[in-house]
């Protein structure tokens, strides 16, 4: 009687199948940890400030939309993809709003949105991250790093899970075609400080 293993290849295949199952389970677990939060434009805003002669001029964009895919177990694996509606600009003056939206600056009819898409999240503290990404304004794309603070995660209305975020950065408006007419270039500073407040929701 032949005592050798009738199916010797099974000795190899079984461990490989077990390894594959473990790997797949690990991938599925990691995927399950990531949640897609939708930015709430009603409770989110982007403010900006820059020098005006010897003082500071401020304004905001009131319609920010997009998604944050957040892995609470490791936020360095997260991503953000956000869009700013240029027409939502508010500077507390209708004439100034119209000028900001004109071809002198944003040319909002031709370029109605700006966008930010992250490329990397780097942990810098217990609840802070450097979020690197690409900012596109007037079809000009430049790398930008946001200083992000995680405000927290918690239950919201109707069973939704909420997340809160703060972010800030500084850009040079001339790099995005926003220098403005020559007569204003000396009156307005080039550095623009941006402050962002985001509430985003996730519902299973």
| Ranges under pLDDT 70 in the chain | 1-32
The domains of the chain are located at 34-202
- Note the pTM of the prediction, 2 decimals: 0.81
Per CATH, the number for 34-202 is 2.40.128.110
Question: CA-to-CA distance for 112 and 110, rounded, in angstroms?
Answer: 6
Question: Which residue has tokens 């953000």?
Answer: 80
Question: CA-to-CA distance for 26 and 35, rounded, in angstroms?
Answer: 17
> pLDDT tens-digit profile of 39-50?
999 999 999 999
* pLDDT confidence of residue 194: 98
């Amino acid at each position: 009687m032949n005592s050798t293993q009738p199916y010797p290849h099974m000795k190899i295949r079984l461990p490989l199948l077990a390894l594959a199952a473990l790997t797949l389970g690990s991938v599925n677990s990691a995927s399950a940890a990531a949640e897609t939060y939708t930015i709430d434009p009603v409770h989110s805003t982007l403010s900006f400030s820059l020098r005006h002669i010897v003082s500071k001029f401020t304004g905001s964009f009131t319609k920010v939309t997009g998604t944050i895919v957040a892995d609470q177990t490791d936020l360095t694996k997260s991503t953000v993809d956000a869009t700013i509606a240029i027409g939502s600009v508010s500077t507390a003056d209708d004439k100034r709003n119209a000028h900001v939206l004109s071809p002198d600056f944003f040319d909002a009819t031709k370029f109605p949105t700006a966008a930010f898409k992250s490329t990397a999240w780097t942990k810098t503290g217990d609840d802070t991250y450097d979020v690197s990404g690409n900012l596109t304004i007037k079809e000009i794309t430049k790398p930008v790093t946001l200083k992000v603070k995680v405000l927290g995660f918690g239950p919201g209305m109707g069973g939704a899970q909420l997340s809160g975020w703060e972010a800030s950065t500084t850009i040079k408006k001339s790099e995005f075609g926003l220098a403005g007419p020559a007569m204003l270039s000396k009156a307005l500073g080039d550095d623009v400080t941006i402050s962002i407040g985001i509430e985003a929701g996730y519902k299973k």
